Chains A and B, each alone.
Chain A
Amino acid sequence: MAGKVAVVGLKFACAPDLKTTRERLVFELTRGLFDELGIDRHEVDTFIMCSNDFIDGRTISTVFLDAPSGAYLKDETKVEMDGLNALIYGWMRILSGQYDTALVVSLGLTGSQASPYLNIQYSLSPTYERQVGLLNELAGAALQARSYLSRSGYSEELLDLVAAKDLQLAAKNPRQGRRLEAVDVDKVRSSDYYYEPLRELHCYPRTDVGCVVLLASEKKAAELTEKPVWILGAGNSIETYFYGERDLSRSPSAAEATRRACSLAGISDPSKEIDFAEVSALFAHQEPLLAESMSLIPEGEAEKAYRDGITGPGGSMPINPSGGSLGGHTVCAGGLLRLCEAVLQIRGEAGPVQLEKAGTALVHGQDGLCAQQNAVLILGA
């Protein structure tokens, strides 16, 4: 890996209903970012689009999005999975020396226009699981939650603690899509069961999300920003599809993705060298589960860590200081939403949820049922 690549600009929007079209959303975010940076589209060398045809309801869903994002007669391609992978592709393209800037454009309107759960439903094998119809995203997540709590010997209250922490932070964060008033452990516990042990407030909300992120080489970054946030390492890994063959209480693919990312970043002990993490935990149990698998907190000590506030904004390993995915998530743009929050933290621009120490961050994104595939990025000032 030769050369350095930085996030030099970003713009995003997250709400239950953004009340706009995909084309206008992409145009406003891209145009807004260009105006903020004082550049035009010709300073972007390559465009990486990222959206899902099923969620967009259109085959080759970028056909009408290239022009509004500024990619007209420019180099363009599309990654169809969590947006962190689109960002990783942009990073690769700049590292190759072929390009100096790359714009990642991602969106998913799963608040106002499509059910987010459909994405998982349709991504089951058409020969077996999808036809049987017994498995869906919520049922799968509930099995994973039960499996994790049982193996670890944690009480169901851990889920309430995680959700209450995230929802309280999300309420403070003006950029989040779901901001509930006066939410606490009791309020979480009094929400209805979807599938035991998962309650309504343990699950990510239906939100519309759009995200644009500009990457630049070291030379170009110096021209574009005074606060570059560097990509120090990245990794991706996937585990078996077959649900019954997985130990759902652990995430070996998140562990492997972290190992790859940390080895590129020169990090040997994430729990000591990472200041905070933004994790795509779509359900409350996934936050401690992934944090353990990614070596951010010791295995078997999650419940204690959450009770002691270690993962809170004042703790030694703040996880999702933005409020995380329980405040807003969508297909494809979900991981980039976490990335944007991490970049704002590192720049010291996170506003009411700003941490005191935010030098190095771990960012995570996921694809598939129960996070079958995971991407991890390490960012630093």
Chain B
Amino acid sequence: MRNVGIVGVGYCPQFVSKRKDVSIPEMISEAVDAAFADSGLGPQDIDAIVFGNMHTFEGVNLPHLWSVEHIRALGKPVMRIATGGTTGMTAFHAGYYHIASGLHDVVMVVTFEKHSEGDAQVGLLGIITPEAVAMMMAGIDLTGEGGMGAQGGGSAGAITYQAVSWMHKSGATIDHIDAIAAMERRNAAKNPYAHLKDPEATAEKIAKTPMISYPVRYGHVCPTTDGATVCILASEEKAAKIADKVAWVWGVASCASDPTTGNLIEGLITDPAEQMQCVIAAREAYKRAGIEDPKREIDYVEIYNGFAHQTLMYLELVGMCEVGEAHKLLEQGELEITGRLPVNASGGVVSTNAIGTSALNRVTECALQIMGKAGERQVEKEVHKALAHGWGGLMQYASITILADKPKKL
């Protein structure tokens, strides 16, 4: 096993609803240039490229093939990773293993999504379209897993079950979801790469947004964003030569569960708030990072929160607090940029969601906090170790990355 560190981060200049001024490869190229500027590296320094996005959201296929010039990959190994919402982080993990294996020294991870070229909800419905077609051809099969998949609807429909279940377990109320959403919007206002920003956001303001499906309001839901993120990784020997400030990878882990649509007739539905895969991935990542008490050892957390309640729910699931405690920490102001357990100083996914980048942005935001390069969104406390989280699929995938300000003792 070799130590691997983050030596460069690049975002495209804006994360917004519609980048009509650039094509997909041009938008990716902006982030690649930004990462080169940040690291002082150039194409000649990169050994291999990992590329990630969910191409059905744009209605395209294998975009790395026609973006090859723009990712500066001519003549190099390129690996395409696609795992749904976790794509950004699983691509990062692939970059990590490129180096940890000893086969490569400097690897560039390129992720993007350009939602304005397609329709994210159409892309998501594509998960269950085969079921819907089968149901039309053969009749509705309510006893099968597939049949239930088709009843799930788009992602906001399915997520309400999760939010209600979590509220029941934790004792939190819809007011807490309004409050965390407002905090994320205010944090986003400090992040030049965030999409939905509101420096004046309050719980009361969020509570006035329309109810989509109880308890999920319009103000609790992520936007669809155009954006690209690039992260450059290097082996310990190379990192020392490239960068003064490096965020070191201490532990990475992923886990897959079954789609949480289940089988309602036989009572075999998985509780979408249980998220056992997240618990397992976090446990494994802590073990690999040698972390025994995350509450004490982790200083900063970035949660993948497509929906606002997930910030609080996943804080509990990754073991940063007890079940039922997250909304109390929120009430006490501890989750703010100035708090004892700052979370999503970036504004999180609920403020910016270019899906392929979303899980990688959790990692790069943790890295910037560790390097002290987060600008206006830099948290008050010193960040020595940070945890980045991602989820995807039909609420069934989890990925965790743990970063630190020093290389791990091997």
Residues of A within 8 A of B (CB): 1-2, 47, 52-54, 57-60, 62-64, 66-67, 71-81, 85, 88-89, 91-93, 95-98, 119, 122-127, 235-242, 252-253, 256-257, 260, 264, 367-369, 372-373
A95 contacts B103, C-beta separation under 8 Å: yes
- 13 sample A-B contacts, Cβ–Cβ < 8 Å, listed by A number: A1-B103, A57-B129, A59-B84, A59-B126, A60-B82, A62-B83, A75-B256, A81-B79, A89-B79, A98-B100, A238-B64, A264-B103, A367-B65
A80 contacts B78, C-beta separation under 8 Å: no
**Complex CA–CA separation, A239 to B65 (angstroms):** 9
Count A-B pairs with CB separation below 8 Å.
189
Q: Which of B55-63, B302-310, B374-382 contacts A (4 or more CB under 8 A)?
A: B55-63
A238 contacts B75, C-beta separation under 8 Å: yes
A58 contacts B127, C-beta separation under 8 Å: yes
A52 contacts B61, C-beta separation under 8 Å: yes
Q: Give B157 Cβ to nearest chain A Cβ, in Å.
A: 16
Residues of B within 8 A of A (CB): 1-2, 23-24, 54-62, 64-69, 73-84, 90, 93-94, 97-98, 100-103, 117, 123-127, 129-130, 145-146, 149, 253-259, 276-277, 280, 284, 288, 392-394, 396-397
B103 contacts A80, C-beta separation under 8 Å: no
Checking A79, A96, A238, A256 against B1 with a beta-carbon cut-off of 8 angstroms, the contacting residue is A96
Inter-chain contacts of A88 with B (CB < 8 A): 79
Q: Which residue of B lies closest to A1 (CB)?
A: B102
Q: Which residue of B lies closest to A121 (CB)?
A: B61
Q: Which 8 A-B pairs have the closest CB atoms?
A: A59-B126, A122-B61, A76-B256, A96-B100, A95-B101, A236-B77, A92-B101, A60-B84
**Complex CA–CA separation, A372 to B124 (angstroms):** 29
A89 contacts B97, C-beta separation under 8 Å: yes
Determine the main DSSP class of B at the interface with A.
mixed
Apart from A77-B90, A236-B79, A373-B65, what 4 extra A-B contacts exist at CB < 8 Å? Answer: A53-B56, A73-B256, A79-B81, A239-B68
B61 contacts A78, C-beta separation under 8 Å: no
A92 contacts B76, C-beta separation under 8 Å: no
**Complex CA–CA separation, A53 to B103 (angstroms):** 29
- Known A-B contacts A126-B58, A126-B60; the reply to A74 vs B98 at CB < 8 A is no
**Complex CA–CA separation, A77 to B288 (angstroms):** 18
A238 contacts B80, C-beta separation under 8 Å: no
B79 contacts A75, C-beta separation under 8 Å: no
B78 contacts A236, C-beta separation under 8 Å: yes
Q: Give A86 Cβ to nearest chain B Cβ, in Å.
A: 9
Inter-chain contacts of B84 with A (CB < 8 A): 59-60, 63
Inter-chain contacts of B82 with A (CB < 8 A): 53, 60, 78, 80
Checking A75, A367, A373 against B255 with a beta-carbon cut-off of 8 angstroms, the contacting residue is A75
Inter-chain contacts of B81 with A (CB < 8 A): 77-80
Q: Which residue of B lies closest to A242 (CB)?
A: B69
A237 contacts B83, C-beta separation under 8 Å: no
**Complex CA–CA separation, A50 to B27 (angstroms):** 27
A73 contacts B280, C-beta separation under 8 Å: yes
B68 contacts A241, C-beta separation under 8 Å: yes
**Complex CA–CA separation, A351 to B78 (angstroms):** 36
Of the listed residues A64, A85, A257, the one surrounded by the most CB atoms of chain B closer than 10 A to its CB is A64
Q: Give A373 Cβ to nearest chain B Cβ, in Å.
A: 7
- Known A-B contacts A63-B127, A78-B83, A96-B1; the reply to A54 vs B75 at CB < 8 A is no
Q: Which residue of A lies closest to B4 (CB)?
A: A96
Checking B62, B77, B80, B97 against A235 with a beta-carbon cut-off of 8 angstroms, the contacting residue is B77
**Complex CA–CA separation, A75 to B31 (angstroms):** 30
Of the listed residues A52, A59, A95, the one surrounded by the most CB atoms of chain B closer than 10 A to its CB is A59
Q: Which residue of B lies closest to A113 (CB)?
A: B130
B256 contacts A372, C-beta separation under 8 Å: no
- Known A-B contacts A1-B102, A126-B59; the reply to A66 vs B258 at CB < 8 A is yes
**Complex CA–CA separation, A240 to B277 (angstroms):** 40
B76 contacts A238, C-beta separation under 8 Å: yes
Q: Which residue of A lies closest to B145 (CB)?
A: A64
Q: Give A57 Cβ to nearest chain B Cβ, in Å.
A: 6
- Known A-B contacts A71-B256, A123-B61; the reply to A96 vs B101 at CB < 8 A is yes
A372 contacts B65, C-beta separation under 8 Å: yes
Q: Which residue of B lies closest to A66 (CB)?
A: B256
Q: Which residue of B lies closest to A75 (CB)?
A: B254
Inter-chain contacts of A67 with B (CB < 8 A): 258
B255 contacts A74, C-beta separation under 8 Å: yes
- Known A-B contacts A54-B56, A66-B396, A78-B81; the reply to A238 vs B73 at CB < 8 A is yes
A1 contacts B76, C-beta separation under 8 Å: no
A256 contacts B80, C-beta separation under 8 Å: no
Inter-chain contacts of B94 with A (CB < 8 A): 77, 79, 89
B62 contacts A79, C-beta separation under 8 Å: no
Inter-chain contacts of A74 with B (CB < 8 A): 255-256
**Complex CA–CA separation, A364 to B402 (angstroms):** 36
B68 contacts A2, C-beta separation under 8 Å: no
B277 contacts A73, C-beta separation under 8 Å: yes
Of the listed residues B103, B255, B277, the one surrounded by the most CB atoms of chain A closer than 10 A to its CB is B103
Inter-chain contacts of B256 with A (CB < 8 A): 47, 62, 66, 71-76
Inter-chain contacts of B254 with A (CB < 8 A): 75-77
**Complex CA–CA separation, A265 to B284 (angstroms):** 33
B97 contacts A96, C-beta separation under 8 Å: yes
A72 contacts B97, C-beta separation under 8 Å: no
- Known A-B contacts A60-B392, A77-B94; the reply to A367 vs B62 at CB < 8 A is yes
B62 contacts A92, C-beta separation under 8 Å: no
Inter-chain contacts of B284 with A (CB < 8 A): 75
Q: Give A14 Cβ to nearest chain B Cβ, in Å.
A: 22
**Complex CA–CA separation, A236 to B72 (angstroms):** 15
Checking B59, B75, B129, B257 against A237 with a beta-carbon cut-off of 8 angstroms, the contacting residue is B75
Inter-chain contacts of B124 with A (CB < 8 A): 59
